[in-house]
Chains A and B, each alone.
Chain A
Amino acid sequence: MTLDQATIAALAARLEEAEHKRAPLTKITDEYPHLDWDDAYAIQEAIRASKIKAGVRIAGLKCGLTSQAKMKQMNVTEPVFGFLCDYGAYPDGGEVPFDKFIAPRIEAEVAFVTHTELSGPGCHIAQVLAATEFVMPAVEILDSRYRDFKFDLISVVADNTSAAGFVTGGRARCIEELDLPTLGLVVEKNGRIVELAAAAAVLGHPATSVAMLANNLARRGQVIPAGSFIMTGGITAAIGIERGDAISVRFQDLGSVSLRFV
C-alpha cells in the first residue's frame, strides 16, 4: 500500500465522477506510478462503499482477465476481480441505452449462483462446485473509465475492472448436468458470427475463477456470501459495440442471451 486514505478517497471519487459524467480519464498510474495491487483494490472498495451509501445495491461479483494466454501476456498469475451494480442489470432480449457508456464492449460468460458461502484461502474447484446452485449464460458489458483503452492492470482494478453492466437469461442449469469446459458458444453481432469458443478458455474451467475470487477476497478479509451471482470472466475476446448493434450469444445446453444497444 503506497497511498493514504485521503488519496484513495480522492481517486475513487474521480473514477466515480468519470463514470457518471461519461468523461474518461487518463490512467491513474500516470500520476501515481508506484500504485500497487492493494492500493488498486482499496480504491475499488472506496467506490463500492460510496455507491452503497448512495443507495446502490451490489448485484454480484465478477472476474476478469481469466484467459491463461492473456495472463501470461500481462505477466500476472491471477485474474482481476470487481463487483456488479444493480443499475447495470439489463433484461435478456432487451434494449441497452448506448449513451450510458463511454465506449462499451461485450464479452460472453458463464455466471455462477451459489447456495453456500465460499471462503479462502485454499478455496478450490471442488468446493465451488459443491456450493453452486446453478449456472446461467450471461453477457458482460465492459466500459473503461480510461481514455482510448489506455490502461494497465492496476488502473483497471481501481476502475472496478471496467464493470459497467450485464445481461443474464437463457436457461439456468445445475452444474452436474453440464460438461462446462467443453460447453461451446457462438457470438453473433448483427446476425454475423464474430466469436466462437468453449468455456475451457476461462482457466480450463470457469469454476476455477470462482475459487480464485474467494482466495483473493480472503486476502481482503472477505468471503463470497451464499446466494452470490458471479460472472466468471470472458470466454471470448471483448467485442467493440456501436449504437444500434444487436448481440446474440448461443450457448451449448444453456440457451441464448441477447441484447441490443439503442
Chain B
Amino acid sequence: MDQKQITAFGDALFDAMTTRSTIAPLTTQAPDISIDDAYLISRRFLERRLATGERVVGTKIGVTSKAVMTMLNVHQPDFGYLTDRMMFATGAEVPASQTLIAPRAEGEIAFILKKDLCGPGVTNADVIRATDFVMPCFEIVDSRITDWKIKIQDTVADNASCGVVVLGDKAVKPTAVDLSTCGIVVSLNGEIISTGAGAAALGSPVNCIAWLANTLGARGVTLKAGEVILSGSLVPLQPVKPGDNMHMTIGGVGQCSVRFT
C-alpha cells in the first residue's frame, strides 16, 4: 500500500471518529491490505488526533482471548494507542450518545509502569519488575468500521477498536495478587452477566505485556515509565447503550463502575 492510500485511510478513520459515522471495512476497500499497512494507518489516525492537542498516555492490547482470536482467525494480539482524551475514572459518566458509535464494554487489568520496557527478550519477570501497580478497568471498545465487520487489518488500522477507558478504584502491586487466577465479576444494570479469570488473556495478563514489549521492541519502540497499558479483556464483549450501568470487581485488585449517557 502506498503512502497516499495509508494517509487517506487514516484520515477517513479520524473523520469517522469525529463525526460519529462509519466507513466500509478497509479489507473490502483494499483487499490486499497487510497488517503492517494497517499499523501505518493506525499511526496516521493517531497523528491526526495528536494534531488536535491529544497526548499519548499508553497502549492497549487487543485480541488476547481465544474467542476473539477465533472470530478474527488470527493467533496473535494487536495493539492501539491510548490518549489523554480517552481516559475516565471509576464512577464516570461516559457520553456514549455524543462520542461513541457502537460501544462495547470489556473488563480488564491495566498495568502502570515505573520503568521503561523494551523488547526483544522481555520476560514475565521483567514485566513484573517494571510494573508499578495494576488497576481494574473497563475498556469501552468502539468501531469506526460499519457494523463491527472487522478483520484483523480493519481493527488494527482503527486503533485496535479503542474507544475510551475507565480506570478503577485501586492500585495494587503486581506481587500482591495472582494475576492468572484472579477472578472477575461483571454486572450490567445490577445483573451478573459474566465471570472470568486473569488467565483469559494469553494465560496471564503479564504474558500480554511481555508480548507487547517484544512486539514494539522489534519496531524500535519502548514502553515508557508512567504509561498505562491495558492487557486485554477477561470476559466477552458487552454491547452498551445510553442509560446502562456497568460494574466489575477483580479479586484482589479492585472495582470499577461506569454509566453511559
Contacts and interface: CB of A to CB of B under 8 A. Distances in A.
B192 A197 contact: no
A197 B250 CA distance: 11
B185 interface: yes
Chain B interface category by residue count: 20 to 34
B203 interface: yes
A186 B205 CA distance: 14
Interface stretch (A49-57, A73-81, A217-225, A250-258): A250-258
A41 to B, nearest CB: 28
Contacts of A196: 196-197, 199-200, 234
Interface string A229-262: 0000001000000000000001111000000000
Interface in B173-217: 178, 180-185, 191-192, 195-200, 203
Nearest to A251: B181
B252 interface: yes
B183 A199 contact: yes
Nearest to B65: A196
B254 to A, nearest CB: 10
B249 A184 contact: no
B251 A179 contact: yes
Which of B66, B185, B200, B250 neighbours the largest number of chain A CB atoms within 10 Å of its CB? B185
A201 interface: yes
A253 B195 CA distance: 17
B252 to A, nearest CB: 7
A235 B200 CA distance: 16
Given A179-B252, A198-B183, A184 B197 contact: yes
Contacts of B251: 179, 182-184, 198, 252-253
B192 A184 contact: no
Contacts of B178: 252-253
Nearest to B66: A193
Given A252-B181, A252-B183, A197 B252 contact: no
Given A182-B184, A253-B251, 11 more contacts: A179-B249, A181-B183, A182-B185, A184-B196, A184-B198, A186-B198, A196-B197, A198-B197, A199-B183, A199-B195, A200-B185
The 8 closest A-B pairs by CB, nearest first: A184-B183, A198-B183, A182-B251, A184-B197, A198-B195, A252-B181, A200-B185, A186-B199
